[in-house]
Each structure stands twice: as C-alpha cells, then as structure tokens.
Amino acid sequence: MIQITLPDGSKREFEQAVSVADVAHAIAPSLAKAALAGKIGTTTGETKLVDTSYIIDKDTSLAIVTAKDPEGLDLIRHSTAHLLAYAVKSLFPEAQVTIGPVIDNGFYYDFSYKRPFTPEDLEKIEKKMHELAKKDEKVVREEWLRDDAVAFFKEQGENYKAEIIASIPANETISLYREGDFIDLCRGPHVPSTGKLKVFKLMKVAGAYWRGDAKNEMLQRIYGTAWATKEEQQAYLTMLEEAERRDHRKLGRDLDLFHFQDEAPGLIFWHPKGWKIWQQVEQYMRQVYIDNGYQEVKAPQILDLSLWKKTGHWDNYKENMFTTESENREYGLKPMNCPGHVQIYNAGLHSYRELPIRYGEFGQCHRNEPSGSLHGMMRVRGFTQDDGHIFCTEDQLLTECANFTALLQKVYKDFGFTEVLYKIATRPEKRIGSDEIWDKAEKALMESLHQSHCEYEISPGEGAFYGPKIEYTLKDAIGRHWQCGTIQVDFSMPVRLGAEYVDADDQRKTPVMLHRAILGSLERFIGMLIENHAGAMPPWLSPEQAVICPISEQFNDYAQALCDQFKARGFRVSADLRNEKITRKIRENSLQKVPYILVVGEKEREAQGVAVRARGNVDLGIMPVEEFMARLADDVKYRRDIQTA
C-alpha cells in the first residue's frame, strides 16, 4: 500500500504504484484536467517538480501543480520554449537548436541558421506554434545513454546539442523530451501535452554568442512571452507599451537631459538639465550621510594591482577591471570603493570606543562590462556609487544592519518608492573566507531582517565573493522590479588588509566591515526615477520647477523680475521671453514636463501675482507671488509631487 500526503494534510492510499496524473484524477477529474506537473517530497525533506507521468512507488507528499501556481507558469514558459524550437525545426529544418531557458516574463531559444530571421519569419513561427499546440501532442520523457544521445544528435546535424550532451558526465541520466516529430534534451519537467500551451507571443530576435563567448559563433535568440491567461498576457503587453513610453533613453533625448555616443561606450554625457537632477540626488544623499553619522571621504581612482590582489578582487573580478601602466607599475581603475576606504581606516589606530566608524563616498567606479550588456543608464561602464562602509564590532553588527534597513526605507519613500522587497544572497561557489565565517555573516543578515520585521527570500549562491548581502528591490509605478541597495557583511577583507582596533582589554582585533549602498549606481537610479515618473519629476527633483511665460513682450520685464525673485529664494525657475504666442509657449513647456507654468499679463502684473498651470494642464487660477512661492517651498520641503487642487 502506498500512502500519499496532500497539501491539506489528508492522505490517499493506493494498492500499487501510481502516476501523478492518476492521483490528480482520484482527487477530482477537473484537477486532472488542469494538472501540469507534480511536486513531490524527497528524502532530504525538500520537494522536486516531476511530470504528471511520473510514477510514485513509495510513500511521499504530493502537490498537484496547475497554471495558477508560480511553478506552473514557469512550466508553461519552459514548455513554450520547446514548442518554439519545434516550430522553427518544422519551418527551417536546417536550423540548429542550442538552449532555451525560462526568463522573467517569458523565455528565449537560441538558434544557428544560415540567414537572419525576419519579422515575417517570426509571424510564421508563431502561427506554426499555435498549429502545433492545437494538435495537443503528448510530451513524453525518454531516458537515454549519454553516448547514444550524442550520436543521435550528431546524426541529426545538431552539433550544438551534441556538444552540450557530451559535456555531461557519462554516469548521469540523459533525459530527452519528445513531442510529435521533435525531440530535445531537457531535465524537465514539462506540461503533459502541447494543448496546455495556449497564450504566448514571440517578441523579438537578437544576437547572442554561443556560450556567451565573443570568440564563438553569433546565434539568433528569439524571445517570447507566455502566460496562463489572455488577460495576464494583455496586461503584460500593455505594461511593455507603457515602459517603452517611459524609456529613459528616449526621455533623455526628448527632455535634453543626457546622451550617449560611440566614442564613449557605456559612459554618459550629462546636459545641464540632467546634471541638475543629478545634483539634487547627490545633495539629498549627502545630507543623509550627515544626518546618520557618516563621514564623507574620497579615495583614489587607481590603485596598484598589488592591493587588488590582496583584497581578492584580482583573482575573482579581474575580467571586469580596466587596467593601466605607468613607470613599469600596473594599476587597476577601481571597480568599487571598499579597498580605498580600508586604507583610510588604516591610516590611524582606532579604539573600540570610536566604533562604529561610517565612511561614505560618491565614488566614481569603472567596470569593463561586455558591450552587448550595456543598456542606457541601467548598465554602464562608468558610474558613481553612493557607497559607504561601516567598521564595527561583532556586537554592533545586528544594530547597524537593522538601522540601515530603516534608513533605506525612508530614503526610498522620499524618492517615491513605497514597496520594497528583500532578498538575502548567500555564499557563491567562488568565494573567500571559511564556512564558519560565512555561517556567521549569513545568520547576522537574517536576524537583522527579523528584527526589522521584514519578510525575505533567499537567493542561493548570489552573494559577493567576500560576503553575503541583503538586496533591496523596488517596485515602480508600472509594477516593474528594480534591484537597488545592498548591505554586505565582510569578515575577510579587513583581515586581508590588516584593519584593526584596540578593544577594552587593550588587545588588537579585526573589525567587521559592512559594505552598503542605498541608491547603488546614481546613474542607474536616476534612470529608474525618470522611468518611474515618466520624466515628470516632482518639483524637488525637477531641473526646472517653474517657467514664467509672459503673454506678450510688454510683460517681459515683469516676468524677468519675477524670475530673479524666485532664483534669489533658491528656486529653479526660468522665464520664456521668446517672441512666440502664449499657446505655443505653454505647449512646448508642457512637453518638457515642467511642474508649473506661470502665465503673466496685465491682470497678473497689476495684482503682483501669477496665473498658475500645474503639470497636466490643470488651471489653478491667479495666485499672489508669495502664496505660490510658499506652495512650491512646501512641495520641495515635503518632497511631494505637484498639487493640483
């Protein structure tokens, strides 16, 4: 008798081995129809996903996975990637398939083919996918010997697939999945039949090097999206349309904020208006430093390679570093600020009474990112971090981490982000330091989030090579997630670089070093702000807070006098004195997303006031100048968006 425990704690007994699909049918025929996979218990207490055809021959726990479950959506996307490959091979038999993983909101598959796929090809492929899905062919798992699988794919002309299989150890089971005439390598699981795949769309084609190496062949990567329902897919496509409208690269051009050019790949040319936004962000963060006990410092841009070798960066990060030479010495252009801050700390001997010591720097960093990964301000080669490092005792560790989380929440709220997600990234395979140190560091981060009453997820193996970290992720106005701030616990680098303090017993000890950033890259954060606000910055961040528009040239003197008055009070205000119609001035300044347009004519001059139009063409009527100044001052003081009432 086999006993199966269901998620609600109830148990089902079967006289003989039974498939996941059979169990689902025994529970309810409707559940069997909706079943995509099963989630069974393992001997280690964990769970694993299996096909509905998987045979259960001993006592275990089981949950039936449907499209309503997160795992179900991943299964749909994974299986749709294989359906894409099936369709491509049906239409273009000479194409070779490589890999096709699930990604956020969809999937992709890489192909080798003699010519580029066109938009018309994508339409044909998507149509073919729907035809294959409607056939509702079973997706069947097969297990092969490795060498047999290699020989089979070579015979089929699938050299990339044969290469992948040949790299698998000989004693491992090779699982292949067959649907109709198509067979592909995959660990699985997959949906039970192609008819489960109903809602998908191919998005675009891009280039991708085989195995990510520029020395290899350039493949064609077809991206797609897949969902459980049409409504979910339409919501996603609508979000993409809105994201395109908000694209910071487009808005950067339209609003004259910054630009990029080929002579400086991955680097930004800031225009005056864009640099004003930068200054507001930096000045705000500088005040955060002051208010929270940070001492601002500045470390050199280049350091001798010997120092980068001591820290472990050269062994673990050298492929991302720019280097230079002078007088037979090699230097590394800093990709991060931490080694420099340790040198500042080491310049004097510190007592335990001084700890924690908090350093902050707006540090210019450079990283040799692959050109294919560069993406506007979101992925650059030169950037500035609001970087900070805290030197503390182990006893102070939890308090510092918890206080940082509270500070970060306030800062994000001021910038308009109220929803924060928390993840703890644990030890990667390539790392420095003992397991005991990593245990201690990971435990401290988890406990700090418990103390802050924050729920969190674990990201296994995603920590930095020198320590685990908390990753703080923001949700923007259209529902996208942006990983932003971090705090990392580092027991290793202070030891490597000889950082010490004198404890209460007059003994020298090594401090714990916390690497922390709130905004991370200022460039990337400003890109996020531009997209979050669709370029319509709140007054405290806006390059121009108001524009004064006289209705004719005879009121230019009044407009200029007002402009001077506003500037004397510290506001960013300009006067549009062009000899243009007032309607054109209003329209063009509205397109520049200025928070307030102040129209002045005879009535306004006589009343010593301004006619106020808030962004969005909201008419707020005539206000005395002082009343509007007070309103704008409150917008800035409370970091709020424009008030339309």
| 313 a catalytic residue | no
Q: What is the mean pLDDT of residues 126-145?
A: 95
Give kind and range of the element (H or E) at residue 450. Answer: helix 435-451
Residue 526 and residue 278 in contact, taking contact as beta carbons nearer than 8 Å:
yes
The response to whether 375 counts as a known ligand-binding position is no
> How buried is residue 272: exposed, middle or buried, by Cβ count under 10 Å (0-12/13-18/19+)?
exposed
Under CATH, which architecture does the 71-240 domain have? 2-Layer Sandwich (3.30)
451 phi and psi, to 5 degrees? -65, -30
- Residue 481 designated active-site: no
Helix, strand, or coil here: 575? strand
The candidate with the shortest Cα–Cα distance to 549, out of 606, 501, 588, is: 588
* 234 given a catalytic annotation: no
480/86: higher pLDDT? 86
**Active site (annotated) includes residue 554:** no
Reply yes or no on whether the pLDDT at 280 is more than 70.
yes
As a whole number, mean pLDDT of residues 157-161 equals: 93
Residue 127 has a pLDDT of 97
When mean pLDDT is compared across 208-212, 536-540, 565-569, the lowest value belongs to 208-212
Q: 433 pLDDT exceeds 90?
A: no
313 is in an annotated binding site: no
Inter-residue contact 612 to 584 (CB < 8 Å): no
pLDDT of residue 372 exceeding 80: no
Q: Tell me what percent of the residues of the chain surpass a pLDDT of 70.
A: 99
Domain boundary assignment for the chain: 2-66, 71-240, 273-528, 546-638
- Say which residues have a Cβ less than 8 Å from residue 325's Cβ, sequence separation at least 6: 331
Q: Return the CATH number of 273-528, one of 3.40.920.10, 3.30.460.10, 3.40.50.150, 3.30.930.10.
A: 3.30.930.10
Question: What pLDDT score does 373 carry?
Answer: 79
Q: Counting Cβ atoms within 10 Å, is residue 532 exposed (0-12), middle (13-18) or buried (19+)? A: buried
If you average pLDDT over residues 513-524, what whole number do you get? Answer: 94
**Dihedral sign, CA of 628, 631, 636, 642?**
negative
Kindly calculate the radius of gyration of the chain based on its CA atoms and give it in whole angstroms: 30
What is this structure's pTM? 0.83
Tell me the average pLDDT across 468-473.
Answer: 94
Is 515 annotated in some ligand binding site?
yes
The pLDDT, as a whole number, for residue 173 is 82
| Alpha helix (H) residue ranges in 92-180 | 119-134, 146-155, 159-166
- Write down the catalytic residue from 186, 338, 392, 563: 338
Instruction: Dump pLDDT digits (tens) for 24-83.
Output: 999 999 999 999 999 998 767 788 999 999 999 998 999 999 999 989 999 999 999 999
| Residue 233 annotated among the catalytic residues of the structure | no
Q: Of the residues 39, 128, 313, 469, which is catalytic?
A: 469
Task: Locate the DSSP E strands across 497-588.
Answer: 501-502, 508-509, 512-521, 546-550, 573-575
Q: Any residues with CB less than 8 A from the CB of 69 and at least 6 apart, and which? A: none
Confidence of residue 389 (pLDDT cuts 50, 70, 90): very high
Confidence of residue 316 (pLDDT cuts 50, 70, 90): confident
Confidence of residue 337 (pLDDT cuts 50, 70, 90): confident
Rounded mean pLDDT of 572-590?
Answer: 95
Give the chain's mean pLDDT.
92
484 catalytic residue (yes or no): no
Strand-strand pairing, 55-56 and 18-19: antiparallel
Q: Average pLDDT, stretch 173-198?
A: 93
58-62, 218-222, 294-298: least confidently modelled range = 58-62
Continuous segment of H or E residues that includes residue 512: strand 512-521
Instruction: Considering the candidates 381, 515, 516, 593, report the single residue annotated as catalytic.
Output: 515
pLDDT band at 434 (very low <50, low <70, confident <90, very high): confident
Residue of 96, 233, 385, 409 marked catalytic: 385
By percentage, how much of the chain surpasses pLDDT 90? 75
Q: Quick one: average pLDDT of 134-141?
A: 95
Domain 546-638 has CATH 3.40.50.800: yes
Going by CATH, does the domain composed of 2-66 fall within 3.10.20.30? Answer: yes
* DSSP labels, 400-443: HHHHHHHHHHHHHHHTT---EEEEEE---SS--S-HHHHHHHHH
Specify the pLDDT at position 45: 72
* Residue in the block written with tokens 């006619």: 611
Helix (H, G, I), strand (E, B), or coil: what is residue 492? coil
* Cβ atoms of residues 217 and 209 within 8 Å: yes
Active-site choice (389, 423, 427, 533): 389
Q: Which helix (H) or strand (E) holds 626?
A: helix 625-637
Which one is catalytic: 78, 341, 367, 615? 367
Would you call the peptide bond into 70 cis, given omega within 30 degrees of 0 as the criterion? no
Mean pLDDT of 185-200: 94
What is the model's pLDDT at position 289?
A: 95
Exactly one of 121, 386, 387, 635 is catalytic; name it: 387
Q: State the Cα–Cα distance between residues 483 and 473, nearest whole angstrom.
A: 4
Of the pLDDT bands very low, low, confident and very high (cuts 50, 70, 90), residue 645 is low
DSSP state for residue 217 in the 8-state scheme: P
The confidence score (pLDDT) of residue 220 equals 95
What is the rounded average pLDDT of the residues 588-599? Answer: 96
Q: Is 401 a catalytic residue?
A: no
How far is the CA of 136 from the CAs of 26, 83, 302, in angstroms? Answer: 23, 11, 61
Q: What are phi and psi of 493, to 5 degrees?
A: -60, -40
